[in-house]
């Protein structure tokens, strides 16, 4: 059923091994290299040119065609523009989730299907679906479901939680059932040692080697304001702009007995409220408000007003925490984006530190990732919850 597969080739070992496995399995494989950031117009370092050369080398070795696709305009509008807008508003976004949602699993998917006549796409992500790594269990009558990879460190379902079920139905994850050491070992065994030795790219590509504060200062004007100790009400220092800081972050304020940490930001007054001590009770809450969920496979009963039990995380590296979620009945699902206009109330089984507006509440059960919703705000802190 699936003959022609277009794989996103990044120049790294994960996509290299994925392309090799597809070719070995007998698919008609085409490579696609996505250019998302314009290196000519920006001063920030990015390994894009080297990655393009590595992608070309891989496709020559595999004897498969390679196309470079320019998504610079789309990336600027859908990812980078939203990124800057959120930071200017004092919100902390997640560009990796935005890139997957808008570029890799939207723009790239539709380009591959409509312009390259692909039956399916493939990527080097560590994730699995119930259809198998090569869609060998595909069924038109069965819902697609997203599952965690066996490598807990490399599992990327968190970053895929905003893609639509329609795209996921025709997406292959050839290395999704493997661990990173297994992928590197396989690369060395089949003659792809150069990719196995390549250093992994870390962090946000467009930031490059600069510090994040240096980078963000190039795009958002400095707006100094006070750090205010929420317990005493006293000003304890000055900051260069709320966009430089995120909830839970340690502040650089001298002359204090304990380090201060960001509790809350006020865009209208440019005040950053801070608390003394990493584990100050005000930083912890067991309630979260989120909106516009994207459901790959919505938990049963949620659409009918039921309170549903599942697992929650809002940071990729943090453990899963039990929770109860309730979805408001307002709004309806968008057939194109998969996004619901409804709101979610999430009650956590245990308080978590520094839940941050702009991040994503991602939901799981039994290794399955249901989808995610953007966090609007945390609920009241535990210090208020226990005294009310």
Q: 381 in helix, strand or coil?
A: strand
DSSP string, 27-78: -EEEEEEEE-S-TTT--S---HHHHHHHHHHHHHHHT--EEEEE-HHHHIII
Residue 64 and residue 106 in contact, taking contact as beta carbons nearer than 8 Å: no
Residue 347 and residue 287 in contact, taking contact as beta carbons nearer than 8 Å:
yes
Q: % helix / strand / coil in the chain, to the nearest 5?
A: 30, 30, 45
> Catalytic annotation on 59?
no
Q: Which residue shows structure tokens 């493939």? A: 122
| Contact (Cβ atoms closer than 8 angstroms) between residue 127 and residue 144 | no
- Among 30, 46, 205, 323, the active-site one is 205
195: part of which helix (H) or strand (E)? helix 193-196
> What are the φ and ψ backbone dihedral angles of 14, each rounded to 5 degrees?
-65, -50
> What single DSSP character describes residue 89?
T
**Catalytic entry in 46, 59, 99, 369:** 99
Residue 363 and residue 314 in contact, taking contact as beta carbons nearer than 8 Å: no
Q: What is the chain's alpha carbon radius of gyration, rounded to the nearest angstrom?
A: 22
Q: By CB neighbour count within 10 A (0-12 exposed, 13-18 middle, 19+ buried), where does 222 fall?
A: exposed
205 as an active site residue: the answer is yes
**Torsions phi, psi for 320 (to 5 deg):** -75, 145
- Beta carbons of 376 and 357 less than 8 angstroms apart: yes
Pairing relation of β-strands 66-70 and 28-35? parallel
Instruction: Tell me the two tokens of residue 217.
Output: 């200062």
Q: How far is C-alpha 284 from the chain's CA centre?
A: 23
278's tokens: 């990493």
- Whole-angstrom Cα distance, residue 67 to residue 161? 27
Residue whose entry in the numeric block shows the structure tokens 């409804």: 342
Residues acting as catalytic residues: 99, 205
């Amino acid at each position: 059923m699936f003959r022609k597969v277009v794989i996103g080739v990044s120049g790294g070992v994960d996509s290299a091994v994925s392309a090799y496995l597809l070719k070995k399995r007998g698919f008609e494989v085409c490579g696609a290299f996505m250019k998302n950031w314009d290196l000519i117009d920006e001063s920030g370092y990015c390994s894009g040119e080297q990655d393009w050369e590595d992608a070309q080398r891989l496709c020559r070795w595999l004897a498969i065609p390679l196309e470079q696709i320019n998504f610079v305009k789309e990336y600027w509008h859908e990812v980078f523009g939203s990124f800057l807008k959120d930071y200017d508003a004092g919100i902390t976004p997640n560009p990796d989730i935005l890139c997957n949602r808008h570029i890799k699993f939207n723009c790239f998917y539709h380009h591959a299907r409509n312009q390259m006549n692909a039956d399916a796409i493939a990527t080097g992500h560590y994730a699995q679906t119930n259809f198998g790594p090569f869609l060998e269990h595909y069924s038109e009558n069965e819902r697609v479901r997203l599952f965690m990879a066996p490598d807990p460190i490399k599992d990327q379902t968190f970053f895929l939680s905003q893609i639509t079920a329609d795209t996921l139905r025709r997406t292959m994850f050839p290395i999704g059932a493997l661990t990173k050491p297994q992928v590197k070992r396989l690369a060395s065994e089949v003659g792809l040692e150069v990719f196995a030795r390549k250093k992994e790219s870390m962090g946000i590509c467009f930031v490059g080697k600069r510090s994040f504060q240096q980078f963000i200062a190039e795009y958002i004007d400095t707006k100094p304001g006070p750090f205010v100790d929420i317990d005493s009400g006293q000003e304890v220092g000055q900051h260069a702009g709320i966009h430089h800081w995120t909830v839970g972050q340690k502040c650089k304020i001298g002359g204090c007995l304990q380090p201060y940490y960001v509790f809350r930001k006020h865009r209208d007054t440019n005040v950053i409220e801070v608390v003394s001590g990493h584990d100050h009770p005000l930083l912890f809450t067991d309630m979260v408000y989120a909106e516009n969920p994207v459901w790959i496979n919505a938990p049963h009963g949620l659409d009918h007003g039921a309170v549903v039990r599942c697992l929650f995380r809002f940071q990729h590296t943090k453990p899963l925490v039990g929770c109860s979620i309730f979805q408001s009945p307002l709004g309806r699902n968008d057939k194109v984006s998969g996004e619901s206009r409804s709101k979610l109330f999430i009650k956590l089984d245990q308080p978590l530190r520094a839940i941050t507006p702009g991040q994503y509440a991602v939901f799981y059960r039994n290794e399955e990732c249901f989808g995610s919703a953007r966090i609007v705000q945390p609920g009241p802190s535990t210090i208020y919850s226990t005294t009310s």
